[in-house]
Amino acid sequence: MSDFVCSTTVGEMIDAFGLQVLCIPENGRDILIHTSDLNRPGMQFVSDYYEHFDAKRIQVIGRQEVSYLHTASDERIRTIADLLFAQEIPAMIVSRNLEIPETFIEHARNSGIPLLRSEKSTSDLIGELMPWLRLALAPQITRHGVLVEVYGEGILILGESGIGKSETAIELLKRGHRLVADDAVEIKKVSAISLVGSAPDIIRHFVELRGIGIVDVQHIFGMGAVKDTEKIDLIIHVESWTAETEYDRLGDANETTEILGIKIPSIRVPVRPGRNLAVIVEVAAMNHRQRKMGYNAMDELNERLNKSMNL
């Protein structure tokens, strides 16, 4: 299991959004981006105010900022560029494919600041770039397990090697559900309450079955049997059944498993020969979905018992 904070680079952002490069230093694609927050430096353009300026943010300029540059003198443009690029910002993006003064481009080039351009409007660019950065920079952990989507619920199956997690995933695929990751699940904290899982690129859509080998799920079961990412709604801990262990039989334990500081509802499922784990996962997914919608079978049973005792 590994735990780390993800990072991304200017080069990855350029490739992801198809940005045009107006100028970039030799190692500019390797410049690290440390925050998902963006900034429009309009105030800095007109007032040279940098007291609370966050130099870690990517700067985005649109029609207003570019129009101001076109009305400014070359001397004023040089002053704006000198002050702004002295902050060592990671990059600046011009929206709407707008043309900017050559003086500004030259100062960006001389300062070693990547200057990029997008065809998107300013609002669309910011609206797409911020979630992408938030996901790319999210804290991440890798867990040994299987992640599947069952009836719309993201189910993370954890357990020791050889207990049958991959076999369960194959059975679920045959039943029409979808595989997200097998063996290694990369889990990202995308918000204060949400975890999203995916597979490492190199093993995406592959499953290892002991005695058979590597299985390409996408080719065998089709595109509808796989999914690249999925929110984790429920964690199922699979363990070998022992007579000495007491397991929850009523569903009132309300256990959780904490990953990256977020507590996810979880259950423990004992397995032994003859027990159909795929069916159990399906029922667990449906039961969890019912609970999220406000229905609890244990509460219903208690209500019936209370009514029968009051007769």
CATH at 94? 3.40.1390.20
- Computed over its alpha carbons, how large is the radius of gyration of the chain? 26
Q: Are residues 206 and 182 in the same domain?
A: yes
Are the CB atoms for 168 and 278 separated by under 8 Å? yes
- What pLDDT score was predicted for residue 307? 82
In a domain, 120, yes or no: yes
H helix or E strand, kind and range, residue 257: strand 256-259
Q: Are residues 185 and 49 in the same domain?
A: no
| DSSP letter assigned to residue 261 | T
Q: Is residue 287 pLDDT above 80, yes or no?
A: yes
The Cα–Cα gap between 69 and 63 comes to 10
87-119 pLDDT, tens digit each: 999 999 999 999 999 999 999 999 999 999 999
- What pLDDT score was predicted for residue 290? 87
Q: Are residues 155 and 128 in the same domain?
A: no
Q: Is residue 3 pLDDT above 60, yes or no?
A: no
Q: How buried is 129 (Cβ within 10 angstroms: 0-12 exposed, 13-18 middle, 19+ buried)?
A: buried
Domain coverage including residue 276: 140-300
152-168 pLDDT, tens digit each: 999 999 998 888 899 99
Q: Are residues 132 and 199 in the same domain?
A: no
Q: Are residues 154 and 232 in the same domain?
A: yes
Q: Supply the mean pLDDT for the chain.
A: 90
Are the CB atoms for 24 and 93 separated by under 8 Å? no
Q: Are residues 192 and 58 in the same domain?
A: no
Centre a 10 Å sphere on the Cβ of residue 141 and count the other Cβ atoms it contains: 17
Q: Are residues 290 and 158 in the same domain?
A: yes
- What pLDDT score was predicted for residue 113? 96
Q: How buried is 19 (Cβ within 10 angstroms: 0-12 exposed, 13-18 middle, 19+ buried)?
A: buried
User: Which residue has better confidence, 4 or 30?
Assistant: 30
Q: Are residues 285 and 156 in the same domain?
A: yes
The last residue of a domain, from among 81, 105, 136: 136
The last residue of a domain, from among 98, 120, 136: 136
DSSP 87-151: T--S-EEE-TT----HHHHHHHHHHT--EEE-SS-HHHHHHHHHHHHHHHTSEEEEEEEEEEEET
253-269 pLDDT, tens digit each: 688 999 999 999 999 88
211-252 pLDDT, tens digit each: 888 999 999 999 999 999 999 999 999 988 877 777 666 666
In a domain, 161, yes or no: yes
Mean pLDDT of the region 28-36: 94
Q: What is the CATH number of the domain that holds 264?
A: 3.40.50.300
Domains in the chain, number? 2
pTM higher than 0.85 for the full model?
no
Residues tagged active-site: 144, 165, 183, 249
Give the residue ranges of DSSP H helices in 158-310.
165-174, 217-221, 277-292, 297-310
The Cα–Cα gap between 105 and 88 comes to 15
How far are the Cα atoms of 151, 165, 171, 208 from residue 178, in angstroms, in the given order? Answer: 9, 14, 10, 16
Task: Report residue 278 CA to chain centroid gap.
Answer: 27
